[in-house]
Amino acid sequence: MKKVYLDNAATTQVAKEVVEVMQPYFLEKYGNASCLHSWGQEARDAVEQSRKVIAEKINAEPEEIIFTGGGSESNNLAIKGTAFQLKDKGNHIITSEFEHPAVLNICKALGKKGFEVTYVAIDKNGFVNLEQLKNSITNKTVLVSIMHANNEIGTIQNINEIGNICKENNIVFHTDAVQSFAKVPIDVKKENITLASFSAHKLHGPKGIGALYIKKATKLKKQIDGGHQEFNQRSGTENVPGIIGFAKAVEVITEKNIENITEFRNYLINELLKIKGTALNGSQDNRLCNNVSISFKNVEGESILLSLDDKGVAVTTSSACTSSKLESSHVLKAIGLKSEDAHGTIRFTLSKYTTKEELDYTIESVRGIIKKLRGISPLK
Ligand SMILES: Cc1ncc(COP(=O)(O)O)c(C=O)c1O
C-alpha cells in the first residue's frame, strides 16, 4: 500500500544526514562532555559547535542557548523559571487562548500556586488581540508567553509587535517557537525576545532534544536540580548525539526547501478547497509553510482520518497531544469555529520530503472519502 506521511507538525522523519553525524557519538565518541579527558573534550567541542549553529540561526550569542529535553521542557523552564524567579516582583502572567498544552498546562499549574493568568483572545485568523494584550498589563505582570506559530492552524504571530510591547513595559517575553524554528526567520534581538523554546523533532532532528534561548542577564529559577551543566541552568549529562543531530537538522534546511514546501502547501490548499463545503483555517498570508488546516462540512474528522489511514495517508484531527480526546480543539474554538465545523477539521502538514505525487494521491483519496462519508451522513 502507498504510504503518505502528512503529520509533520506532530513529528518528522529524521534526516539521513542527521543520523549520519549522530552515529559516531553513540559508537566511538561517547565521552561525557563534562569530563576533562580527550573523550570528554571531543564531546564538549561538538556540543559547543552545535550551540553556535542554533545561536546563529536566531541572531543570539552561543552562551544564550541551553540544550533541554525538548519543547515541553524548554517551556517549563522559561515559564516556571521566570514566574518563580520574579514572584516577589509580581504574580501576573499573560498568555493566549490558543497556546499548545505545553504552555497552557504550565499556566494552569501556576494558577494553582498563587499566580494569576490572563488568557488573551485571538481573532478568527489566529492573531492575538494586541489591544487586549496591552490592556491586560498591570504592575504585577512579569511574563508574556505567546507562541510564534500555531501548531494546529499555522498562523504566524506578529511577535515583533508583542516584543515591543513587552520591552516598553519591562516584561519578560517568552515565545514557543517549536513549530516555527528554521521555517520562519527569528531575530531575537530585533524582535525583543527574552526567551524562546525550540525542539529538534519538528525539523527532521531527533526526538527528546530541544533548546531554550535565554537573553543575557535573564535569571530563571532552575527547574532540574543536580549538576552544573548548561551554564548551571539545566542539570543532567548532555545528550551529545541529540545536540549534534539537532544542529545538523538546522544546518541542512535551506530556503529552497521552504519555498518548495510553500508551493506544495498552496497547491494542496487550492485543490482541497475545490471540494464543496470546505474552509481553510488560519491566516492565508502569515502561515507556516507546511500547514494546511481544512474544515469539511457535515463530516466527522475522525472518520476522515481513519479512512485516510486505510489508504496509507497519515493526517490528524488536531494536535498530536490532544487527538485522543473527543472534545473539539481549544484552538478551533478560540478562532470561533462552530463545534460541528471543528469536529470536521483535518490538519495536513508537509515536509521537505513530501512529493507532488503524494499530494495528488492524497487529494484524490480525500475527494472519494468526503463523497462517500457525506453520502451516508445524517447531517445535510
Ligand atoms: C507549539 C508546540 N510547543 C511545544 C511542543 C512540545 O514539544 P516537544 O514534543 O519537543 O516536547 C509542541 C509539540 O507538538 C508544539 O507543537
CA 86 to chain centre: 26
| Ramachandran quadrant class, 175 (left: phi over 0; alpha: psi -120 to 50; beta: rest) | beta
Q: Which of 7, 72, 198 to mutate to test the pocket of ligand 1 (most atoms within 8 A of CB)?
A: 72
Cell of 306: 481513519
Q: Kindly state if the Cβ of 239 falls inside 6 Å of ligand 1.
A: no
Q: Report the interhelical angle of 71-85 vs 101-111 (nearest 10°).
A: 30
Domain at 4-12+254-376: CATH code: 3.90.1150.10
**pLDDT on residue 354:** 98
Domain at 16-252: CATH code: 3.40.640.10
Residue nearest atom 14 in ligand 1 by C-alpha distance: 10
Domain ranges of the chain: 4-12+254-376, 16-252
Walk along the chain (380 residues) and give the pLDDT tens digit of each residue: 899 999 999 999 999 999 999 999 999 999 999 999 999 999 999 999 999 999 999 999 999 999 999 999 999 999 999 999 999 999 999 999 999 999 999 999 999 999 999 999 999 999 999 999 999 999 999 999 999 999 999 999 999 999 999 999 999 999 999 999 999 999 999 999 999 999 999 999 999 999 999 999 999 999 999 999 999 999 999 999 999 999 999 999 999 999 999 999 999 999 999 999 999 999 999 999 999 999 999 999 999 999 999 999 999 996 444 445 567 899 999 999 999 999 999 999 999 999 999 999 999 999 999 999 998 877 66
b/e map 341-373, b = 16+ CB within 10 Å: bbbbbbbbbbbbebeeebbebbbebbeebbeeb
Q: Kindly state if the Cβ of 151 falls inside 6 Å of ligand 1.
A: yes
Domain 16-252 in the same topology as domain 4-12+254-376: no
Residue 345, phi then psi, degrees to nearest 5? -105, 135
Across the strands, what pairs with 347?
A: 293, 316
Please give the full DSSP string across 151-169, using - where no structure is assigned.
TTT-BBP-HHHHHHHHHHT
Q: Are 93 and 141 within 8 A, CB to CB?
A: yes
Distance 177 CA to ligand 1 centre (A): 9
Distance 71 CA to ligand 1 centre (A): 5
Distance 114 CA to ligand 1 centre (A): 26
DSSP alpha helices (H): ranges in the chain? Answer: 16-22, 24-27, 38-57, 71-85, 101-111, 130-136, 159-168, 229-232, 240-252, 255-273, 301-310, 330-334, 339-343, 356-376
**pLDDT on residue 333:** 93
Closest by CA position to 285, among listed 48, 126, 62:
126
Residue 197, phi then psi, degrees to nearest 5? -105, 140
Distance 364 CA to ligand 1 centre (A): 31
Q: Which of 95, 105, 178, 329 to mutate to test the pocket of ligand 1 (most atoms within 8 A of CB)?
A: 178
Q: Kindly state if the Cβ of 191 falls inside 6 Å of ligand 1.
A: no
Could you tell me the end-to-end alpha-carbon distance of the chain, in angstroms, rounded to an integer?
A: 33
Residue nearest atom 7 in ligand 1 by C-alpha distance: 71
**pLDDT on residue 380:** 61
Question: pTM to 2 decimals?
Answer: 0.96
